[in-house]
Chains A and B, each alone.
Chain A
């Protein structure tokens, strides 16, 4: 019977593992940034995510060429741009070359009667023509007269300048030796955008590689010339590589550490191998559970595998003690189950997090812990020899006991530290939280700085304020942009905003283009009206033949389409502001506030309200900075609330199991002290807390509760010998946790290092404080 039961247990276990392996084999592992981009709960935030997913932002690669001299850099820039254009990988490569500039000028000049916002029937009446031409003549004598003069004969009504005026304020990079250069002139800059979408990380990685290799093969390169790159896709590729590289390294390092530690303590390869079984089973079940729940597993979730190594190894350590006959089995398992329950209560808040990465971590940890505990309870007994000979640790046990007895007298210390910590936390009031979502991004500070520099070099527009709406097709999207544009022009007039960008500036809707064509009078009428308009003006009609023939050509020509923009920099404008989504179009119209440095540069309600009148679908005005700050605040509050709930559940569990308020207090006090102390240490060390630090604190409670429980229960019921055994194993368990999380804390990925540092520090504090406070009465008992 007993033997049969053993076989059933082992069979079930192996079947479970096999099932997990099968699920994992089919699992898609991802390591992009998405897991720590919050699921966007509001329509506005969804826009931001879509802009990245479908828009041009995810496809832009900013390139800088450094080293050598300015002329050399400009030459490399031209050569690189030419070669990259030929690869077909990029939709466009811009570097301020004169050919593109010429194409831009041509596009605006040739199409001025379809593009200029002034083209209405009134513009071509006698009065309209007279006013416009007089205006141009006056401008001829002004400081920009030379520019006006060049255009005057064919564009006496000043359309080209009028439509270029719309772009005023958007800065362009400076041009040095015929190519874009940084403000300080020390770097040539280019802009490439890929054909593949930003979400195709593989294609983005190939594009980046192509740029790097093409640059390497450029002829006549000076020895110190080099290429640097930045952009959302570069970040995505970089973080994927970092995550892939680090997760494997961190997991192996902490596994190795645990193995060494266990070998050192037990000196038995068999015990080591068996001791790791709960961990490995837990990890497999955890990954499989995440895969089933989310359809994919994020690389970072694997990075958190150490959370399991840290805690599940403890179970087998405790189990060996029990098997060696030194702990009362019934009592032992009660404590273990209570520990598992409090840990689950600690991890459970993560399940409800809006960050998919954290939710994955919650599922992974809970299912993994349950699996590890069950394997420890039912599978290990079937495998571990009945008579377990443990290495004699009694000398260490006695020594530790003496140390802890002394420590018990320091009961005032944790409380004092906690009070001091509360003081530190109060001193940091207002600067506790890092409100910047980018604090979670795995991109190094140096890379972020380079990104900012290249952005400034390229004069990339400040996209803090934007109007956004969606439309079922391209034409309706452009018509919407024109409708919104009219409202926005009114707001410029009323000085609410300084300006805006619109895809319709360079590509008006077909309807508007046709309306403009219809506004142009026929040849005879045009000549007649012009003749009358010129009365009293110092220009003879004979000089303006070019104007008249251009008008007629514009009247009957084919309207402009996106393809007409190919090769101009205006193409980039349209592609970045008119975004083709899965089933519709998203239109973005960046706004320019009057004073960017003002505390409130723009009251978005003053834009939102008049725009509602356009009745465009989902039209919203977004303040990106405000939006991301709010996002962070929401998630932080969400996690705070959930953590508080988790703590309440833990206290309720303890109260129910221990059936004593004073015993519960003895378990909870060291946890509270360690959480406050860790927070104070982090703040004092100059760290600003992110959501991930909060998660770390939650783990401190989840893991630390086990220590406190064991100390507390040891103090209540165990014999001195049992207690000494238990103390040694607690220290070993703690060292594995501190070690494995400490390794995680070394990661350069902020998400991992935040949790790693917090937990390793917190676990150490929790053990110390639990030893001092929870062990409590034992020190006073006679031995």
Chain B
């Protein structure tokens, strides 16, 4: 798959955003349909390339690795470069492992803001509309072939950090996840699917 440069991604996203507004109502109706499509996925494996743009750093930081998802609530993100790191989400527990460091274990129940953030990705992958609606206001634009889902945090604590999360895809495949932070920093993760079972 393509390795889209950030400007193009941003441009497309902007285009979608602008174009989508008048049709928002119509697309809103498609949300359950998209969610249903997404919910068909039983498990998926993919590679990712994530670019993080941070104000204080002069150029985007690139990290690469693998993703795997098993419905309904298991998600693994294995970063290979620049620093090996393993993030595992199982039900309500998030663990982060780094070589030579102690394993970090976070209970989502105790950290609502992390939970909300995690739900944006997991909820989308699992097609869990009610989970998404708990934490975000949703806006869907585009067609089933090329959709863009914009999540705006409802919770103040999360809203202070992220202004919005944009997820784009084609039918049941998620292609990019973009995080926009309040301070202007943002990141784009491009996902390339390897295998998929429904």
Bound together, the chains give a CA A706 to CA B195 distance in angstroms of 89
**Shortest Cβ distance from A218 into chain B, in angstroms?**
26
Which residues on the A side are within 8 Å of B87 (C-beta)?
Answer: 143
Q: Is A538 an interface residue (CB 8 A)?
A: yes
Instruction: Judge whether B161 and A143 touch: CB under 8 Å.
Output: no
Bound together, the chains give a CA A138 to CA B59 distance in angstroms of 12
Binding site for A on B (CB under 8 A): 50, 52, 54, 56-59, 61-63, 77, 79, 82-83, 85, 87, 96, 98, 101-102, 104, 107, 110, 161, 185
Instruction: Judge whether B57 and A499 touch: CB under 8 Å.
Output: no
Taking CB atoms and an 8 Å cut-off, the chain A residues in 109-162 that contact chain B are 137-146, 149, 152-153
| Contact partner, A141, options B52, B58, B101, B102, Cβ 8 Å | B52
Which of B54, B87, B101 has the most CB atoms of chain A within a 10 A radius of its CB?
B54
Binding site for B on A (CB under 8 A): 137-146, 149, 152-153, 165, 168-169, 174-175, 498-499, 538-540, 543
Instruction: Judge whether B77 and A149 touch: CB under 8 Å.
Output: no
Instruction: Judge whether B110 and A145 touch: CB under 8 Å.
Output: no
| Contact partner, A137, options B57, B77, B85, B102, Cβ 8 Å | B57
Instruction: Judge whether B56 and A152 touch: CB under 8 Å.
Output: yes
Q: List 26 A-B contacts (CB under 8 A).
A: A138-B61, A138-B82, A138-B83, A139-B83, A140-B52, A140-B57, A141-B61, A141-B62, A141-B82, A142-B63, A142-B85, A143-B77, A143-B85, A144-B96, A144-B104, A145-B52, A149-B54, A152-B56, A153-B56, A165-B101, A169-B102, A174-B107, A498-B102, A538-B61, A540-B58, A543-B56
**Shortest Cβ distance from A344 into chain B, in angstroms?**
62
Report if A539-B56 is in contact (Cβ < 8 Å); known contacts: A138-B82, A146-B161, A169-B102. yes
Instruction: Judge whether B56 and A142 touch: CB under 8 Å.
Output: no
Which residues on the B side are within 8 Å of A142 (C-beta)?
Answer: 63, 79, 83, 85, 98
**With A141-B61, A152-B56, A165-B102 given, can you name 14 additional A-B contacts, CB distance below 8 Å?**
A138-B61, A138-B83, A139-B83, A140-B54, A140-B57, A141-B82, A142-B98, A144-B104, A149-B54, A169-B102, A174-B107, A499-B102, A539-B57, A539-B58
Which residues on the B side are within 8 Å of A139 (C-beta)?
Answer: 83
Bound together, the chains give a CA A499 to CA B102 distance in angstroms of 9
**Shortest Cβ distance from A456 into chain B, in angstroms?**
14
Residue of A whose beta carbon sits closest to that of B97: A143
**Shortest Cβ distance from B182 into chain A, in angstroms?**
11
Bound together, the chains give a CA A152 to CA B55 distance in angstroms of 11
Bound together, the chains give a CA A140 to CA B85 distance in angstroms of 12
Which residues on the B side are within 8 Å of A543 (C-beta)?
Answer: 56
Residue of A whose beta carbon sits closest to that of B161: A146
Report, nearest first, the 9 A-B pairs whose CB atoms are least far apart: A141-B61, A168-B102, A538-B58, A174-B110, A138-B83, A141-B63, A138-B82, A141-B52, A538-B59
The interface residues of chain A, by DSSP majority, are classed as mixed
Which residues on the A side are within 8 Å of B77 (C-beta)?
Answer: 143
Bound together, the chains give a CA A539 to CA B58 distance in angstroms of 6
Which residues on the A side are within 8 Å of B85 (C-beta)?
Answer: 142-143
Which residues on the A side are within 8 Å of B52 (C-beta)?
Answer: 140-141, 145
| Contact partner, B79, options A143, A153, A165, Cβ 8 Å | A143
Which of A138, A169, A175 has the most CB atoms of chain B within a 10 A radius of its CB?
A138
Residue of B whose beta carbon sits closest to that of A174: B110
Which residues on the B side are within 8 Å of A143 (C-beta)?
Answer: 77, 79, 85, 87, 96
**Shortest Cβ distance from A157 into chain B, in angstroms?**
14
Bound together, the chains give a CA A677 to CA B104 distance in angstroms of 57
**Shortest Cβ distance from A68 into chain B, in angstroms?**
20
Which residues on the B side are within 8 Å of A140 (C-beta)?
Answer: 52, 54, 57, 61
Which residues on the B side are within 8 Å of A175 (C-beta)?
Answer: 110
Residue of B whose beta carbon sits closest to that of A543: B56
Which residues on the B side are within 8 Å of A152 (C-beta)?
Answer: 56
**Shortest Cβ distance from A757 into chain B, in angstroms?**
46
**Shortest Cβ distance from A173 into chain B, in angstroms?**
10
Bound together, the chains give a CA A742 to CA B104 distance in angstroms of 56
Which residues on the B side are within 8 Å of A499 (C-beta)?
Answer: 102
Bound together, the chains give a CA A540 to CA B54 distance in angstroms of 13
Which residues on the B side are within 8 Å of A146 (C-beta)?
Answer: 161
Which of B83, B101, B107, B161 has the most CB atoms of chain A within a 10 A radius of its CB?
B83
**Shortest Cβ distance from B30 into chain A, in angstroms?**
32
Bound together, the chains give a CA A674 to CA B104 distance in angstroms of 60
Residue of A whose beta carbon sits closest to that of B52: A141
Bound together, the chains give a CA A539 to CA B57 distance in angstroms of 5
Residue of A whose beta carbon sits closest to that of B82: A138
Bound together, the chains give a CA A174 to CA B77 distance in angstroms of 26
Which residues on the B side are within 8 Å of A137 (C-beta)?
Answer: 57, 61
Bound together, the chains give a CA A367 to CA B77 distance in angstroms of 77
Which residues on the A side are within 8 Å of B56 (C-beta)?
Answer: 149, 152-153, 539, 543
Report if A141-B110 is in contact (Cβ < 8 Å); known contacts: A153-B56, A169-B102, A538-B59. no
**Shortest Cβ distance from A592 into chain B, in angstroms?**
10
Which residues on the A side are within 8 Å of B96 (C-beta)?
Answer: 143-144
**Shortest Cβ distance from A164 into chain B, in angstroms?**
11
Report if A141-B50 is in contact (Cβ < 8 Å); known contacts: A165-B102, A168-B104, A538-B59. yes
Bound together, the chains give a CA A138 to CA B56 distance in angstroms of 13
Bound together, the chains give a CA A141 to CA B96 distance in angstroms of 14
Which residues on the B side are within 8 Å of A138 (C-beta)?
Answer: 61, 82-83
Bound together, the chains give a CA A149 to CA B186 distance in angstroms of 12
Bound together, the chains give a CA A540 to CA B59 distance in angstroms of 11
**Shortest Cβ distance from B23 into chain A, in angstroms?**
34
**Shortest Cβ distance from A612 into chain B, in angstroms?**
28
Bound together, the chains give a CA A141 to CA B84 distance in angstroms of 11
Bound together, the chains give a CA A165 to CA B77 distance in angstroms of 22
Residue of A whose beta carbon sits closest to that of B81: A138
Bound together, the chains give a CA A734 to CA B160 distance in angstroms of 81
**Shortest Cβ distance from A427 into chain B, in angstroms?**
45
Residue of B whose beta carbon sits closest to that of A149: B54
Bound together, the chains give a CA A152 to CA B82 distance in angstroms of 18
Residue of A whose beta carbon sits closest to that of B96: A143
Which residues on the A side are within 8 Å of B82 (C-beta)?
Answer: 138, 141
Bound together, the chains give a CA A169 to CA B102 distance in angstroms of 8
Which residues on the A side are within 8 Å of B62 (C-beta)?
Answer: 141
Bound together, the chains give a CA A169 to CA B103 distance in angstroms of 8
**Shortest Cβ distance from A134 into chain B, in angstroms?**
9
Bound together, the chains give a CA A138 to CA B81 distance in angstroms of 9
Bound together, the chains give a CA A152 to CA B59 distance in angstroms of 15
Bound together, the chains give a CA A141 to CA B65 distance in angstroms of 12
Residue of A whose beta carbon sits closest to that of B61: A141
**Shortest Cβ distance from B85 into chain A, in angstroms?**
5
**Shortest Cβ distance from A561 into chain B, in angstroms?**
30
Bound together, the chains give a CA A272 to CA B110 distance in angstroms of 70
**Shortest Cβ distance from B42 into chain A, in angstroms?**
25
Bound together, the chains give a CA A175 to CA B63 distance in angstroms of 33
Bound together, the chains give a CA A9 to CA B196 distance in angstroms of 105
Bound together, the chains give a CA A149 to CA B161 distance in angstroms of 12
Which of B59, B102, B107 has the most CB atoms of chain A within a 10 A radius of its CB?
B102
**Shortest Cβ distance from A477 into chain B, in angstroms?**
27
Which residues on the A side are within 8 Å of B57 (C-beta)?
Answer: 137, 140, 538-539
**Shortest Cβ distance from A595 into chain B, in angstroms?**
13
**Shortest Cβ distance from A727 into chain B, in angstroms?**
72
Bound together, the chains give a CA A355 to CA B56 distance in angstroms of 67
Bound together, the chains give a CA A540 to CA B56 distance in angstroms of 8
Report if A149-B83 is in contact (Cβ < 8 Å); known contacts: A137-B61, A141-B52, A143-B96. no
**Shortest Cβ distance from A405 into chain B, in angstroms?**
75
Bound together, the chains give a CA A112 to CA B185 distance in angstroms of 26
Bound together, the chains give a CA A498 to CA B101 distance in angstroms of 11
